[in-house]
Structure 1
Amino acid sequence: MELFFKYLQYEKRYSPHTLTSYHTDLGQFAQYLEQVYQITDPAEAGHTIIRSWILTLVQNNIKPRSINRKIACLRSYYRFLLAEQRIEANPMLRIKAPKVSKKLPAFVPEEPFNTLLDTFTFEENFEGQRDRLILELLYGTGIRLAELIGIADGDISLRAKTVRVLGKGNKERIIPINDSLLSCIEVYQKHKKSEFPDNNSEKLLVTNKARPLYPKFIYRVVKKYISLITTSQNNSPHVLRHSFATHLLNKGADLNAIKDLLGHSSLAATQVYTHNSIEKLKSIFEKAHPKA
């Protein structure tokens, strides 16, 4: 199992978040094998035993999306064992994943959110300008939470008006930034330099103690401001990524361009946003067309 995780980390370059999830999933499976079947090596488990574990997860009301992630973990694991010649046949070939109902990505309304960014009085100090920059970067570039945390001062090019981010699988991409966001970065950097003149951190965004930001911190900031314009409970940083894509698509942006901006590996992952746009088109049609 440890060889498998090293393979995922160094060869497949999986993200730390995925590695943590797979550690948990494979650990739970190994525990189940030992407790129920007295099997200490997962390589000995056949498809019937694997299926019994999945059935147990279903009976324990584990969400289909979580079960599918666990199945994906086992698929990767048994493919690895097959490649390493630890097993003669892959038992996962006979395992089907449960169907997951597709949810439309949640997003914040365009006008209220832009009004918030343009008219809300963020405090003219380090904390206030940092909060504003968090919101502006997430919405203005569509980057992921981990990508935001990873941005270094050197990743911002004021001259080229771009930001460099490191996405999933350590894939680097360059994202354009507009003049408004550029101004926010410059103002924040001035406050940061004044607040921490001796700061040696390479990261762009830091805490009040000049340490790199962490996920819970950003969650709190995003929730604080989004709750001012919507009562929706879905106010995570990822909602701003969905909003970025949805609002671009509503304005007529090319789907392939949005795919590249988001860092998706395939167009299939980006196409989910077309459903939100179709719903908007339906609404316009019903209000405007005489035969609607």
Structure 2
Amino acid sequence: MNNIKSFHDYLLLEKNYSQHTVTAYLNDIGFFESFLANEFEDDNLIAVNYNQIRSWIVSLSDDGISNASINRKIAALKSFYKFLLKTKQLDSSPLLKHKALKSPKKIQIPFSEKELDMVLNQITYKEGFEGVRDKLIVDLFYTTGIRRTELIHLKTQNIDLSTNTIKVLGKRNKERIIPILPIITEQVQKYVIEKSSIKQDKGDDYFFILLNGVKLNDSFVYRLINYYFSNVSEKVKKSPHILRHTFATHLLNNGADINSVKELLGHSSLASTQVYTHNSLAELQKVYHNAHPRNKK
């Protein structure tokens, strides 16, 4: 148990992982520990060998767990054994030669510009605070590409209308500055006026709040985006992440430099941004086929 507590502190304080990620890692390690106890009558994580881990992988697969989910669970174990190596409690990791399971890449289908226009310009929102807030949330996702958790934790003092920028706290507590468009500035000003009539807990300065004055939560934001886009789109997935994906895709389709998009999204590596390029490539191919003289003969 001391190892687990030390690992928890290491992830949270040294690696700057979010509490959500840390909890997920510890849960996965706990599930593996239970598997060892049930199958091998020994829950000693330090004395584990790869065959035992492989047995767990097979068990997870038999239970219908996807390869992607299994890979995430093994990533938690890998991180734990790296920690044990780092703290000299282990000489070698049992996962040293493990190779991740292959999983099909899911193509995230972005919203079209027409769908965004319908949600932002043709749908009728509620009158007053809730309607102004909801439209601003949709537009802020689309025009800045911020993550759901970044929007939820956005503080009032981190919105600077004098420079038309917002400061967000991203993954691993990395701050970044994102420019906002004049149309967003106008909506922010309107929202601030509406928000002034809502009683908010003293000292709690979250920018976006519910009608009862408390900050937003994950499920509320997901339901909000799903609700408004269900009116205009038949796509299976309608979520804040798809709006982030749409932001990147539309920028790339309209000629934005991929490195600039990377900075706006807060990605640490270009590889993370490149997953968004397949849609812009499709757009490029369409332009190419329509414009090249050799395709007209």
TM-score higher than 0.5:
yes
Do 1:201 and 1:210's aligned partners in 2 also have CA atoms closer than 8 Å?
no
In the other structure, the counterpart of 2:214 is 211
- TM-score relative to the length of structure 2: 0.94
Partner secondary structure for residue 257 of structure 1: helix
Partner secondary structure for residue 140 of structure 1: helix
In the other structure, the counterpart of 2:182 is 179
Partner secondary structure for residue 124 of structure 1: coil
Do 2:164 and 2:180's aligned partners in 1 also have CA atoms closer than 8 Å?
yes
Do 2:165 and 2:178's aligned partners in 1 also have CA atoms closer than 8 Å?
yes
Q: 2-side partners of 1:270 and 1:82: how far apart?
A: 32
In the other structure, the counterpart of 1:201 is 204
Partner secondary structure for residue 295 of structure 2: coil
In the other structure, the counterpart of 1:264 is 267
1:162-186 deviation digits (Å, cap 9, x = unpaired): 0000000000000000000111111
Q: Which has the higher contact order (CA 8 A, sep 6+)?
A: 1
**Percent of matched pairs sharing the same residue:** 42
Distance verdict in 2 for CA 1:197–1:207, change over 3 Å: closer
Q: 2-side partners of 1:204 and 1:197: how far apart?
A: 10
Q: How does 1:116-135 map to 2 (within 5 A)?
A: 116-135=119-138
CA-based RMSD: 1.6
The runs of 5 or more residues in structure 2 that have no matched partner are none
Q: 2-side partners of 1:31 and 1:288: how far apart?
A: 61
Q: How does 1:55-74 map to 2 (within 5 A)?
A: 55-74=58-77
In the other structure, the counterpart of 1:7 is 10
- TM-score relative to the length of structure 1: 0.95
Q: 1-side partners of 2:148 and 2:46: how far apart?
A: 36
Is residue 2:38 matched to residue 1:38? no
Aligned pairs, how many? 292
Q: 1-side partners of 2:51 and 2:119: how far apart?
A: 55
Is residue 2:84 matched to residue 1:81? yes
Q: 1-side partners of 2:136 and 2:145: how far apart?
A: 13
Partner secondary structure for residue 167 of structure 2: strand
Do 2:144 and 2:247's aligned partners in 1 also have CA atoms closer than 8 Å?
yes
Do 2:165 and 2:177's aligned partners in 1 also have CA atoms closer than 8 Å?
yes
Partner secondary structure for residue 196 of structure 2: helix
Do 2:200 and 2:214's aligned partners in 1 also have CA atoms closer than 8 Å?
no
